[in-house]
């Protein structure tokens, strides 16, 4: 099978990661698959085209050719102009289709089927392609940087104690912040716990029915109870989510202000550590990609991968 790996150009060029690194590309070409990599794919992380070429990839600047391969592998979904270069092929990418149905409409126009990386899970429901701990870690580092205080002078309130919060908690504890994890049974007392908080961290996975009904745990009016120069760090980046004033941002413009409170809601926090996150994603993607390209029809894929297929013909808009 022929595989195209384009450069990531999202977030006005701030997204510099590569979904596959030379070591993993070599494994793919050793299986007799052809890999076309865009010129300069990894150069912004210090990886030369020569390294990809030595791994067996064909280097090209022809983006139309890359996007017309049997399967296109990207971290971020293609931009509209990139979708126009695709036709009758497969996209293996982070799609988050429920939050971004426009991607599915573009796929429908180009007869493209997708496999959403974030939906490939094991039997216990854990994602097989993820950098959730890096996301929490990098978000917390950024929040401390913007807080105008040393970490040990910061009061941190964390909503949720799942995987996405683990990295943030690790950083906050290690730097000496005063940390409070708000348990579900304490939600009704949010007005008490949010008082004098410097950094509010949202790590909750908000149920679809609450998103649809626009139910909020932290309303706009509650922000005034936080300390001046406070920070809202939204790690879940669902929309709507438990914090009324949150909306997704990109690496190119990661923050915005509401009532004097800085909001960080980056869709793609691991991009703040591009070398580390690219290395992990590349290792995770390799195993799954080899399975995908080993079959002639998507229907023959293992069930845990088939469940991640996004077919525009059956997608409920």
pLDDT (tens digit per residue) in 121-163: 999 999 999 999 999 999 999 999 999 999 999 999 999 988 8
Alpha-carbon Rg for the chain in angstroms: 21
pLDDT, average across residues 48-67: 98
Q: Is 37 exposed, middle or buried (0-12, 13-18, 19+ CB in 10 A)?
A: buried
Residue intervals of the chain classified under CATH 3.40.50.720 are: 2-128+274-310, 132-272
230-253 pLDDT, tens digit per residue, is: 999 999 987 778 999 999 999 999
132-272 maps to CATH 3.40.50.720: yes
Q: Evaluate if pTM is beyond 0.85.
A: yes
Report d(CA 28, CA 245) in Å as an integer.
44
pLDDT at 206: 85
Q: Model confidence at 119, in pLDDT bands (50, 70, 90)?
A: very high
What's the gap between Cα 137 and its chain centre?
14
**Fold designation for 2-128+274-310:** Rossmann fold (3.40.50)
């Amino acid at each position: 099978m022929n595989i195209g790996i384009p450069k990531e150009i999202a977030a006005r060029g701030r997204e510099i990661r590569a979904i596959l690194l030379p070591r993993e590309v070599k494994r793919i070409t050793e299986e007799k698959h052809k890999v076309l990599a865009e010129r300069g794919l990894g150069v912004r992380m210090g990886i030369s085209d020569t390294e990809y070429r030595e791994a067996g990839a064909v280097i090209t600047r022809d983006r139309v050719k890359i996007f017309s391969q049997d399967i296109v592998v990207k971290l971020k979904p293609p931009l509209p102009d990139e979708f126009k270069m695709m036709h009758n092929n497969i996209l293996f990418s982070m799609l988050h289709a429920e939050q971004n149905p426009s991607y599915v409409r573009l796929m429908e126009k180009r007869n493209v089927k997708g496999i959403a990386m974030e939906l490939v899970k094991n039997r216990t429901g854990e994602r097989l392609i993820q950098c959730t701990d890096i996301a929490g870690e990098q978000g917390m580092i950024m929040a401390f940087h913007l807080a105008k205080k040393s970490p040990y002078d910061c009061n941190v309130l964390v909503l949720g104690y799942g995987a996405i919060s683990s990295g943030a908690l690790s950083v906050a504890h290690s730097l000496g912040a005063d940390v409070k994890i708000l348990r579900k049974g304490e939600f009704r007392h949010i007005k008490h716990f949010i008082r004098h908080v410097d950094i509010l961290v949202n790590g909750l996975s908000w149920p679809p029915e609450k998103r649809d009904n626009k139910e909020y745990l932290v309303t706009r009016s509650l922000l005034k109870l936080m300390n001046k120069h406070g920070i809202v760090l939204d790690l879940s980046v669902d929309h709507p989510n438990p914090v009324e004033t949150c909306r997704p941002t990109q690496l190119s413009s990661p923050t915005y202000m509401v009532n004097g409170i800085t909001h960080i809601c980056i869709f793609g926090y691991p991009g703040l550590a591009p070398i580390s996150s690219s290395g992990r994603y590349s290792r995770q993607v390799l195993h799954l990609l080899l399975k995908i390209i080993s079959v002639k029809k998507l229907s023959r894929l293992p069930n845990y991968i088939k469940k991640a297929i996004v077919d525009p013909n059956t997608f409920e808009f």
